[in-house]
Chain A
Amino acid sequence: MIAGLVIPVILMFLAGRGSGSSLPEQLLVGLAGRIQGVARWVTGGTSDLLNGYALLVGVREENERLLAERDRLLQEALLAKQLAVEVQRLRKVLDLREKRPDLRLEAAQVVAMDVTPFHRVGRIQVQTAGVALQPDMAVLTPEGLVGRITRAAGSLGDVMMLGDQRSRVACEVLGQGVLGVLIGSGLPDRYSAWLQVAQTEDPLPRGAVVVTSGHDRVFPRGIEVGYVLDQDARRRAGPFVEYEVRLAANPAAWDTVLVAAPAGSGPGTGP
């Protein structure tokens, strides 16, 4: 037992002298290094097990909760975006009403929309809040003219779009003093129309703005209709020249439109 206490003192004495390279010590340190390597592997595995499994208990529930929270926030963000777009649209509608105090404009909700096989809006049905609709009322958006009501039943009305082949609108080219008639192209794959002007008129520049002239006593004057596309694509039609016009209003983008009474009259009130 005394030897058990003396041997460590001798070892300490030898090690404390700084020799540190005796054969027994080298062997012992080498052996210890190997054992420590194995121990590090064991503890590393234990630590990995702890971090990879034991500490992950509850993470699944937390993850599911966070995913649900994320979905809820995404929905709220989407709703907020939709509301922002809706507010912007309604603001434009209100701006139009303020800009055109000469018109009696009533808001109408688009309740039905026929889509062509080419994903173009071919026909819409609108409904006002208690205001009786009449045929030939103009339907417009802040972007421009959409069409006219052809059939009405109380506050519900069918709208004939400007692109309809039957559509005719008296127009003028803004700033050019050129009068003409806008005729629907009837093409199911293109929301466009033809502007028919006299051959004697100078060629219209590309991008010229076409607005209603009010001469047909259906559409109020000065409502934007569209833009002349390519003057090289104009064609002759009897004594007239026809220019293709890109229509300004995209009815697919609006849920709320405005209905204007025919020039010289006002929209009637509902029963």
Chain B
Amino acid sequence: MRSVWFLLLLALVQLLVGPLLLWMGLRPTLLDVPLVATCYLGYAFPTRRGFLTTLVAGLILDLWTPGTLLGMHMEVLGLLFLLIRGLSGRLPLDRPLPLILVTLVAGVLKTLLFYLLSLLFDSGFEGRAASLVWAIPTVLTTALLAPLLVLPFAGLDALTGGLRKADRRIL
């Protein structure tokens, strides 16, 4: 049930962030909410449940994003989840600075993975390196705002009782 609430909240935040950024005169894709959600899943959820939740979130994103290969978000977010899960034992990801750093690294990796997987599987992908530059503002903004973007998910977990006591300090 915790995962279901989490996915619903992710969909809601994803729905609101785009129009909000557009209204502010910014690029609607400036914030990568699924990336932050994956980071949160990586350190706040149990491994198996977090991984499955990440895959479902990726599947939803694949269906949601026009032009994306089915399975692309699933694969990328799944890999990132495993990476973050591995780092969560060594870094206190409930602290803002480690969270920013991990989100930054995960954002760069996500961009590279998208590029690589698109080259491998998408026959219509042109493979221009300029598309990587386009992702830099998104990665930087998302990393800087990650401690704020993670709050709705932590808040939901606190409400539904899923957040461990030790993790509540992020709130």
Contact = CB atoms under 8 A, between A and B. Distances in A.
Interface of A: 1, 4-5, 7-18, 25, 28-29, 31-32, 35-36, 39, 42-43, 46-47, 50
B63 A8 contact: no
Nearest to B125: A16
Interface stretch (B101-109, B116-124, B131-139, B151-159): B116-124
Given A10-B71, A15-B70, A39 B15 contact: yes
A8 B15 contact: no
Given A5-B75, A8-B58, A42-B15, A13 B64 contact: no
Contacts of A50: 19, 23
B140 to A, nearest CB: 26
Q: Which of A9, A10, A18, A36 has the most CB of B within 10 A?
A: A9
The 7 A-B pairs with the shortest beta carbon distances in the complex, nearest first, are: A11-B71, A32-B63, A8-B71, A16-B121, A8-B75, A8-B74, A12-B71
A46 B74 CA distance: 29
Interface in B59-80: 59-60, 63-64, 69-72, 74-75, 78-79
Contact of B71 (A9, A31, A35): A9
Interface stretch (B32-40, B48-56, B162-170): B48-56
A16 B123 contact: yes
B52 A12 contact: no
B16 interface: yes
Q: Which of B18, B51, B78, B121 has the most CB of A within 10 A?
A: B121
A18 B123 contact: yes
A28 B15 contact: no
Contacts of B51: 1, 4
A20 B55 CA distance: 21
A1 B55 CA distance: 10
Contacts of A31: 63
A11 B55 CA distance: 13
A13 B48 contact: no
* B-side interface size class: 20 to 34
Nearest to B48: A1
A11 to B, nearest CB: 3
Nearest to B16: A46
A208 B63 CA distance: 93
B83 to A, nearest CB: 12
B52 A4 contact: yes
Contacts of A7: 71, 74
A8 B64 contact: no
Given A5-B78, A10-B71, 10 more contacts: A1-B48, A7-B74, A8-B71, A11-B69, A13-B121, A16-B123, A28-B70, A39-B11, A43-B16, A46-B19
Contacts of A36: 64
A48 B100 CA distance: 34
B123 A5 contact: no
B110 to A, nearest CB: 14
A47 B19 CA distance: 7
Nearest to B47: A1
A15 B69 contact: yes
A16 B79 CA distance: 20
Contacts of A5: 75, 78-79
A43 B71 contact: no
A39 B16 CA distance: 10
